[in-house]
């Protein structure tokens, strides 16, 4: 069974750094792109960017370029999304998802990030 | 404001049929990019319902179907069940923005 398991909820203060994870199993992790999607409270889905764990080729949405960093460690089948300095507006539910063709066939359960002073 | 436009909400009684529209433009759906649909339930991983406009992944009931016409696509759900109450999102690609784009989401209420 293909699974993506994300790290648990986080509560952080503005200005702090954070790295959340997404661990894949049940398939060849290095052969599929992994994307990240944001859902702010009460809002819709926004595509943030994508990484190919096989060679760490990474693409960002212009809206998120420079705001977050997407990375992967293929040795442990894990993708990451990180912030160097969180803002209150980063409060959201973040999903990782496996890309198959031009759609996302398997999603993680989501990581809730709360940024509050 | 989302690039793909969906109605904020739809509703139907158990057993009825509902449709959710997703309207785009000449840089996404109209350009020939496929549309895919996802179901979001609280506290669970989003689920792929339809890919490539009208294809169902294995395990998705045939009560769910997708269609495309011009710059608009639709998700139809027949034989509504209480468990179908969820948020539904369409997704495509926009060549002008060079990004994956989602609709604003539609909340389905089963009356």
Helix, coil or strand: residue A90: helix
**B7 CB near a chain A CB, below 8 Å?**
no
Q: Report how far Cα A13 is from the mean position of its chain's Cα atoms.
A: 19
> What is the least distance, in Å, from the CA of B70 to any CA of chain A?
19
- Cβ <8 Å between B105 and A105: no
C-alpha A91/C-alpha A78 separation (Å) is 22
Tokens of A107: 């999603």
Q: Report chain A residues whose CB lies below 8 A from the CB of B47.
A: 107
- Looking at residue B53, its pLDDT comes to 95
Helix, coil or strand: residue A110: coil
Residue numbers in chain B where pLDDT is lower than 50: none
Query: CA geometry: angle at B92 spanning B88 and B96, to 5°?
Result: 140
pLDDT classification of A110: cutoffs 50, 70, 90 = very high
In this predicted model, what pLDDT tens digit does every residue of A30-44 receive, in sequence order? 999 999 999 999 999
State the DSSP string of A7-63: PPPEEE-TT--EEEEEEEESS-GGGS-EEEEEE-TT--EEEEEEEETTTTEEEE-TT
Asked if A107 and B45 count as a contact pair (C-beta separation under 8 A), the reply is yes
- Looking at residue B71, its pLDDT comes to 82
Tokens of B24: 């785009």
């Amino acid at each position: 069974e293909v699974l993506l398991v994300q790290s648990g909820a986080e509560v952080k203060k503005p200005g702090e750094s954070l790295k959340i994870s997404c661990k894949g199993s049940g398939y060849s992790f290095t052969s599929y792109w992994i994307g990240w999607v944001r859902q702010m409270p009460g809002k819709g889905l926004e595509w943030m960017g994508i990484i190919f764990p096989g060679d760490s080729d990474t693409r960002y949405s212009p809206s998120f370029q420079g705001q977050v960093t997407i990375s992967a460690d293929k040795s442990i089948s894990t993708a990451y999304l990180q912030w160097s300095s969180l803002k209150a507006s980063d409060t959201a539910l973040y999903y990782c998802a496996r890309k198959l063709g031009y759609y996302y066939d398997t999603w993680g359960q989501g990581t809730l990030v709360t940024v509050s002073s | 404001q989302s690039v793909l436009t969906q109605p904020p909400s739809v509703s139907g009684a158990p057993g009825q049929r509902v449709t959710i529209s997703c309207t785009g433009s000449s840089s996404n759906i109209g350009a020939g990019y496929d549309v895919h649909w996802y179901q979001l339930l609280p506290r669970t991983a989003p689920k792929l319902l339809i890919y490539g406009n009208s294809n169902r992944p294995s395990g998705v009931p045939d009560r769910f179907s997708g269609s495309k016409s011009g710059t608009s696509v639709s998700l139809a759900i027949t034989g509504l069940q209480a468990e179908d109450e969820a948020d539904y999102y369409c997704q495509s690609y926009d060549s002008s923005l060079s990004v994956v784009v989602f609709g604003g989401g539609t909340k389905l209420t089963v009356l």
